[in-house]
């Protein structure tokens, strides 16, 4: 997997990267601007480096850029959201379209129904990851209203503690694409009330916020394609070149 790096800006020392001041759009629709700012802020963190804060190239505020964030298609550092929320810097239209495609995608539970029994890599993982239209909804367990769904079982009680932590964190930090009125639900295994009103997505799969409880508390392993998607995101290579010319070629 290759992630497109975005959000590196030129400073006085070089002109290799775009200049944010060239892309300020004070008239940008505020709801779209908020969506992009949130998308960049609440994303999966692949790493935290000991990088000293850097000044914003527009206002000089010191920004923390030590965290590497990704959505499984693009990668950026934690200082990028500031340019959008504080200075209305527009990112390339292709990226904005990608966010809309993710947020507006249809969620389909068909894949999940047989995901434990049909242990193979689905075709959807070979489709263009930058333009998902259908998100595979995962984590619905069988109950009276949902016959035909998997039952939560202790799929992997002996699995590596680090793998479990890694998957739990992934499920807890990917982008929130929707907040529903679901509130809390009862865990089918321990009876505890678990918050389930957020829907998160990694651009391929979508799940409610009670799913990490099953992984963390009950050792429920998820079907391999979901683990593969996470690992590919973590191990992805970075494309440094797209960002250098994207503004020039799209204008
Ligand atoms: Zn600034
Ligand atoms: Zn439980």
pLDDT in tens, 103-142: 999 999 998 998 888 755 555 555 555 555 889 999 999 9
Average of pLDDT values for 82-93?
A: 97
Q: Which ligand is nearest to the CA of 81?
A: 1
Tell me which residue of 65, 13, 14, 15 sits closest to 40, measured CA to CA: 65
Distances (CA, A) of 219 to 136, 141, 203, 213: 22, 15, 24, 9
Report the mean per-residue pLDDT for the chain: 90
- Tokens in use for 244? 């250098």
Contact 248, 241 (CB under 8 A): no
Q: What is the pLDDT of residue 132?
A: 55
Please state, in angstroms and rounded to a whole number, the distance separating the CA atoms of residues 54 and 66.
10
Please state, in angstroms and rounded to a whole number, the distance separating the CA atoms of residues 40 and 68.
11
Q: Which ligand is nearest to the CA of 20?
A: 1
Distance 217 CA to ligand 2 centre (A): 6
The model's pLDDT over 134-184, given as tens digits with 9 standing for 90+, comes to: 899 999 999 999 999 999 876 676 778 888 999 999 999 999 999 999 899
Pairing of strands 237-239, 205-208: unpaired
- Tokens in use for 68? 């590497």
Q: Which ligand is nearest to the CA of 24?
A: 1
Q: Which ligand is nearest to the CA of 191?
A: 2
DSSP 8: -
Average of pLDDT values for 66-73?
A: 95
Distance 194 CA to ligand 2 centre (A): 8
Average of pLDDT values for 54-67?
A: 93
Q: Which ligand is nearest to the CA of 212?
A: 2
Please state, in angstroms and rounded to a whole number, the distance separating the CA atoms of residues 170 and 188.
22
∠ CA 220-226-227, rounded to 5°: 75
Distance 152 CA to ligand 1 centre (A): 47
Q: Where are the domains of the chain?
A: 2-101+236-249, 104-231
Whether the predicted model's global pTM rises above the 0.95 cut = no
The model's pLDDT over 4-55, given as tens digits with 9 standing for 90+, comes to: 999 999 865 566 889 999 999 999 999 999 999 999 999 999 988 888 999 9
Distance 65 CA to ligand 1 centre (A): 13
Please state, in angstroms and rounded to a whole number, the distance separating the CA atoms of residues 66 and 199.
27
Distance 58 CA to ligand 1 centre (A): 5
């Amino acid at each position: 997997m290759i992630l497109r790096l975005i959000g590196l800006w030129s400073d006085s020392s070089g002109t290799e990267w775009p200049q944010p001041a060239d892309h300020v759009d004070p008239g940008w629709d505020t709801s779209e601007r908020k969506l992009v700012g949130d998308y960049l802020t609440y994303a999966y963190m692949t790493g935290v480096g000991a990088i000293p804060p850097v000044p914003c190239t527009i206002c000089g505020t010191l920004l923390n850029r030590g965290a590497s964030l990704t959505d499984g298609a693009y990668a950026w550092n934690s200082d990028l959201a500031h340019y959008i929320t504080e200075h209305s810097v527009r990112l390339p239209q292709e990226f904005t379209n990608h966010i809309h495609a993710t947020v507006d995608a249809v969620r389909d539970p068909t894949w999940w129904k047989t995901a434990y029994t049909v242990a193979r890599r689905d075709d959807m993982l070979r489709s263009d990851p930058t333009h998902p239209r259908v998100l595979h909804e995962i984590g619905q367990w069988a109950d009276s209203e949902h016959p035909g769904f998997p039952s939560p079982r202790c799929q992997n009680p002996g699995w590596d503690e680090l793998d479990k932590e890694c998957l739990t964190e992934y499920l807890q930090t990917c982008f929130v694409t929707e907040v529903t009125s679901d509130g809390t639900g009862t865990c089918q295994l321990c009876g505890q009330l678990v918050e389930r009103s957020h829907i998160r997505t990694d651009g391929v799969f979508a799940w409610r916020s009670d799913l990490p409880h099953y992984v963390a508390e009950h050792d429920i392993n998820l079907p391999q394609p979901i683990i593969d998607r996470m690992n590919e995101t973590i191990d992805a290579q970075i494309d440094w070149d797209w960002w250098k010319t994207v503004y020039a070629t799209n204008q």
